[in-house]
């Protein structure tokens, strides 16, 4: 079967299930579970012979049931009818208690395809292909397509975890990560930044064996607190040949902002979640469900605030190595908010070299009317004088109109910005804005000009 026909078949089945009330998100979940089991089954056979261990069915107390079936693809694909549905549901519950990537993939898993005949159709479709022999680019293309389709389903809210791929690729093309370096995304969603960085590293370098091994197992680290999104990220990465099926998960399920874990990274590429406030939900003494603003009391933060983006920005600064580089998507309030915002901006300019800001238009995210920017900065050692001397602004907002579906932002829309950014040498740049050419989008401001502007936000 050709690559395009496999993709077409998966999409057609998604639409059939959608008519039965199974949304793209639920379909994507089930595809993730089943693909993982099928690929593990393939790796246990010649020529791979990985000897991956899968447990027998466990009871609700978490103990293996004597003479029970093994929770693997071979057993599952041999079941039919009500027995298939029952075994599949028990299998999901059992695997959710396992350790490492296996447990993370199946955390809080549930069977959303209640019709055994439809479930069998999905199983048979997956069973007919040899996924381990299929190229990572094809497997990745299938899965990324499902993720993008899921993001378009605005009712599910999945779009908040999906950063436009054109923007991600642009940020990576500017930063140009190098082999044998670590990359962090403290709010990694479905792993878009990791995959773009992986593609950049493989396409622009002739990697030796040691570099390939490092790229596969030691390059990428992240946090994602939503179990469903985390499993999609892990599967997305595994289908792109990142990580081991029986290895430890490199995606931490904990809130990245809670504490400094002491680890430091060469690059941070991120689009932290939108929404100005961090909050927690709890039940008060009257039995009412209430929300309370959440401030993170961390010694490494310049300011204690409930502003989620300011906290992520401070956390990212902490996580960088002294020579680390960052590219982060942040909303307008970061640039213009007073109080804690002003202090964080001052400290960022003082302790890092904040050299570039890309102003983004509305209409590129699934969340409507979001005004955002990309901040590019390099970490620096402690100094009495501010490391930021000038900031270059690229205005990709004025007279620009995009929508996620009908007129999405494409990579070619940002090639002028990449050229102006000049990744090979960010200290050799030329403005395109001037008094004579006020349509030019590329302009620099001195540290003093920016300080005055940001000290009196409008």
Exposure letters 172-208 (e unless 16+ CB within 10 A, then b): bbbbebebebbbbbbbbbbbbbbbbbbebbbeeeeee
pLDDT band at 145 (very low <50, low <70, confident <90, very high): confident
Residues above pLDDT 70, as percent of the chain = 91
Lowest mean pLDDT among 16-25, 226-235, 387-396, 407-416: 16-25
Residues linked to residue 375 through DSSP beta bridges, in sequence order: 328, 357
Residues linked to residue 320 through DSSP beta bridges, in sequence order: 265
Per-residue pLDDT tens digits for 169-211: 999 999 999 999 999 999 999 899 999 999 999 999 999 999 9
pLDDT of residue 29: 87
Fold of 151-455: Rossmann fold (3.40.50)
State both tokens at 226: 């939503």
Is the full-model pTM beyond 0.85? Answer: yes
Shortest CA distance to 33 belongs to which of 117, 99, 109, 85? 109
Rounded mean pLDDT, 32-57 = 90
Higher pLDDT residue, 427 or 276?
427
pLDDT band at 372 (very low <50, low <70, confident <90, very high): very high
pLDDT of residue 1: 54
Which range scores top for mean pLDDT: 15-19, 332-336, 451-455? 332-336
Rounded mean pLDDT, 442-455 = 90
Rounded mean pLDDT, 125-129 = 89
- Return the ∠ at Cα 285 (arms to 280 and 290), rounded to 5°: 30
Question: In CATH, what class is 3-134?
Answer: mainly alpha
Question: Cis peptide leading into 114, omega within 30 of 0?
Answer: no
pLDDT of residue 279: 47
State both tokens at 372: 């955002």
Average pLDDT, the chain: 88
pLDDT band at 295 (very low <50, low <70, confident <90, very high): confident
* Domain ranges within the chain, ordered by starting residue: 3-134, 151-455
User: Distance (Å, rounded) from C-alpha 142 to C-alpha 140?
Assistant: 5
Exposure letters 402-432 (e unless 16+ CB within 10 A, then b): bebeeeebeeebbeebbebbeeeeeeebeee
Measured between alpha carbons, how far apart are the two ends of the chain, in Å?
A: 60
Lowest mean pLDDT among 146-155, 190-199, 216-225, 236-245: 146-155
- Return the ∠ at Cα 266 (arms to 230 and 210), rounded to 5°: 85
């Amino acid at each position: 079967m050709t690559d395009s026909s496999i993709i077409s078949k998966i999409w057609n089945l998604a639409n059939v299930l959608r008519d039965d009330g199974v949304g793209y998100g639920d379909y994507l979940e089930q595809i993730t579970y089943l693909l993982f089991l099928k690929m593990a089954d393939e790796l246990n056979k010649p020529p791979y012979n990985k000897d991956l261990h899968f447990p027998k069915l466990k009871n609700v107390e978490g103990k293996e049931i004597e003479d029970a079936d093994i929770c693997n693809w071979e057993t599952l694909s041999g079941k039919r009818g009500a027995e298939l549905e029952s075994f599949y549901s028990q299998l999901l519950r059992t695997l959710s208690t396992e350790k490492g990537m296996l447990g993370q993939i199946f955390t809080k898993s549930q069977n959303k395809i209640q019709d055994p005949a439809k479930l069998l159709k999905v199983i048979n479709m997956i069973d007919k292909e040899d996924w381990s022999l299929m190229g990572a680019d094809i497997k990745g293309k299938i899965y990324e397509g499902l993720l993008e389709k899921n993001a378009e389903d605005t009712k599910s809210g999945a779009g908040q975890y999906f950063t436009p791929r054109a923007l991600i690729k642009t940020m990576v093309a500017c930063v140009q990560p190098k082999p044998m370096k670590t990359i962090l995304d403290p709010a990694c969603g479905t792993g878009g930044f990791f995959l773009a960085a992986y593609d950049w590293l493989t396409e622009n370098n002739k990697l030796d064996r040691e570099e390939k091994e490092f790229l596969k197992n030691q390059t990428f680290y992240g946090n994602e607190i939503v179990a469903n999104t985390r499993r999609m990220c892990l599967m997305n990465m595994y289908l792109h040949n990142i990580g081991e099926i029986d290895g430890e998960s490199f995606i931490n399920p904990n809130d990245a902002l809670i504490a400094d874990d002491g680890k430091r990274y060469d690059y941070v590429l991120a689009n932290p979640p939108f929404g100005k406030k961090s909050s927690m939900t709890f039940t008060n003494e009257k039995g009412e469900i209430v929300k309370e603003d959440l401030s993170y009391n961390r010694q490494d933060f310049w300011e204690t605030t409930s502003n989620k983006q300011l906290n992520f920005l401070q956390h990212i600064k902490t996580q960088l190595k002294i020579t680390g580089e960052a590219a982060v998507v942040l909303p307008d309030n970061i640039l213009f908010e007073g109080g804690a915002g002003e202090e964080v901006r001052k400290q960022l300019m003082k302790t890092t070299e904040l050299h570039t800001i890309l102003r983004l238009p509305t209409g590129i995210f699934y969340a409507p009317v979001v005004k955002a920017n990309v901040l590019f900065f390099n970490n620096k050692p402690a100094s009495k004088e501010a490391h930021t001397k000038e900031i270059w602004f690229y205005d990709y907002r004025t007279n620009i109109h995009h929508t996620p579906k009908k007129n999405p932002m494409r990579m070619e829309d940002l090639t002028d910005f990449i050229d102006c950014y000049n990744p090979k040498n960010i200290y050799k740049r030329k403005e395109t804005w001037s008094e004579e050419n006020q349509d030019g989008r590329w302009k620099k401001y001195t540290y003093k000009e920016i300080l005055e502007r940001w000290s009196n936000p409008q």
